[in-house]
Amino acid sequence: MSSVDRSVKPSFTKSMFLGALQSELVMPYPLLDAEERARVDEAVTTAREFLTATYDPWRTERDGWVGDDTIRELGERKLTGLFIDEQYGGRGLSQSGYCRVMEEFGKVDGTLAVVMGVHQSIGTKPLHLYGTEEQKARWLPDLAAGRKLAAFVLTEPNVGSDAYNLETRAERQSDGSWLLNGEKRWIGNGDKDVLTVFAQSDLGHVALIVEKGMEGLSTGPRFETLGLKGNSLQRVHFRDVRVPAENLLGEPGDGFRIAMNTLNNGRMSMGTSISGGMKRFLDLALEHTSTRRQFGRELIDFEMVEEKLAWMNTRIYGLESASYLTTGLVDRGEADFSLESAMTKVEASDLGWYGLNRAFQLHGGTAFMADHPLAKALRDFRIFPIFEGSNDVMRAYVALNGLKALSEDLPDVASLKITDPGKAIGVLGPYVAGRITRRVRPEKLRGAHPTFAGRVNAVSEQTVRLRDRAEAALRKHGKKVQEKQLIQKRLANAASGIYAQVAVISRASAVFERDGLQISGAEKTVAMNFLKSAEREVNRQLRSLEINDDRFVQQIGRAVRQTNGYAFDL
């Protein structure tokens, strides 16, 4: 087994690319203790009472804003400062607890979930993570109470996924203040109160707190969007905005790290909000198919209807398992969770869209009416595979980080040149020997319930194959693997599928230990169904790294570019 660098926080997913399973990071499953569970349940009850009895998502869509009265009441119920420390007026929930409450917002309205997520997950989070005690005391009480709303101000007209190359500039002045110039776009809550703004400077990237009303700060015109109509998505302009020295988060040069770590945290609540939305889609589908009759019987009696419902239920279980395993990594504070956060976000946003499509199909023409909740969800949910890191970019991020970790474990890879057959043969020898060794002795996931012995073996074998295929890609392409996005996509999908299986094994094992296997029979069925389905998909992804039609895809893609579109005529 390959060694893992203990000088930095370990990463479960990076270790998978090395052929290792760090069981201690994922076993046992991070179930909430009794005290935290009670606090979370109280917050969930409070949120559910307000959302079901008071909040009107259709009014939000008509008015183009969730409403100041809504924000005020959420603040009074301490739902706008869920993870903020109690000394600043928040609830002080763990990451797992916070994300559990965010599920409730996702069940009721994607727009409100986004507004609350922007405010808390990414708007307030930089202050929570990197603020000094003085900065926290200055801003967190108002943010926790909902008297002010926060925004995360990163994206620019010419800068989206390539967030490192910001064009907004901050020039440090002789008195320590910063002069800020530039333009941002697609900023949720951009016209609100406390903006964490990221900019380039001569000293590196900086994160600055900009407050509403500062001279030179302006917003608008607001973007008109397909969905999330109640989310105030703004253009934000800075014209010689003077930001006091005490509004700098961290040190000069820390800005990019602060932005990326904030997004790593924020992606998790998106995952659980989508999970909440999928539970609502399933409820609507069950209600409709149980009451709608065709051909003399209820729709739910037909196999193709039943299959869609089973698919949704199983996928929610897998997504929920992976989401809260990842939040558990955050709460323990012992692991690098950046890749798990990215994978969970990708899986959630893809599954949310696929699940919505199935629920929509089961409703037939009813859901196509503009006033149906699934029609609204269709408009709202399409942005999630793009928000907070495009899914294609996130897949590349996962794969390239995994490949980088593996390359550091293979010193000879850097010197390998495919055009030098002698050198290629020289490094191929130990590669094959290592591969054979790993196949004889794959590492097992420790601590799983005996029921999952077969599934544990499957995960172990797939982890070995993941390393083999990643290593083969490195040796074949060298540094050029950075351009091989189809390879990256398959590696990331395989890693995500393995991680999801680990999460389900860990979760179900903990439940069986707590409740007994007899009581948990239904959960065993769902878990097994998910695991077998995920295993098949991972095997497909790994196999396609060896056998695929990529050369035809590339030829066709180039031809389409040359002909400027479809070129065939009957």
Question: Which residues, 6 or more positions from 261, have their beta carbon under 8 angstroms from its beta carbon?
Answer: 129, 338
Q: How far apart are CA 78 and CA 91, in angstroms?
A: 7
| Distances in whole angstroms, Cα of residue 370 to Cα of each of 111, 185, 357, 358, 374 | 16, 29, 16, 18, 9
Burial of 74 (0-12, 13-18, 19+ CB in 10 A): buried
Tokens of 46: 């409070």
Phi, psi of 139 (to 5 degrees): -110, -35
525 vs 520: CA distance, rounded Å: 9
Q: What DSSP line would sit under 275-321, residue for residue?
A: HHHHHHHHHHHHHHHHH-EETTEEGGGSHHHHHHHHHHHHHHHHHHH
Within 10 angstroms of residue 485's Cβ, the number of other Cβ atoms is: 14
* 241 backbone dihedrals φ, ψ, rounded to 5°: -80, 120
171, burial (CB in 10 Å: exposed 0-12, middle 13-18, buried 19+): middle
Amino acid in position 525: T
Contacting residues for 521 by C-beta, under 8 A, at least 6 apart: none
Q: How many CB atoms lie within 10 A of CB 547?
A: 6
Residues that are catalytic: 388
Residue in this structure with the two tokens 């770590």, named with its chain if needed:
261
Nearest to 299 by CA among 367, 307, 377: 307
Residues facing 196 on adjacent strands: 152, 209
Work out whether the CA dihedral 535, 541, 546, 547 comes out positive or negative.
positive
| Cα torsion through 340, 345, 348, 350, rounded to 10 | -120
Go through 250-289 and write b for each residue having 16 or more CB atoms within 10 A of its CB, e for each that does not: bebebbbebbbbbbbbbbbbbbbbbbbbbbbbbebbbebb
C-alpha–C-alpha distance, residues 247 and 356, integer Å:
42
For residue 158, the SS3 value is coil
Name which of 363, 203, 320, 330 is nearest 264 in CA terms: 330
Q: Which residues, other chains included, contact 518 with Cβ-Cβ below 8 Å and sequence gap of 6+?
A: none
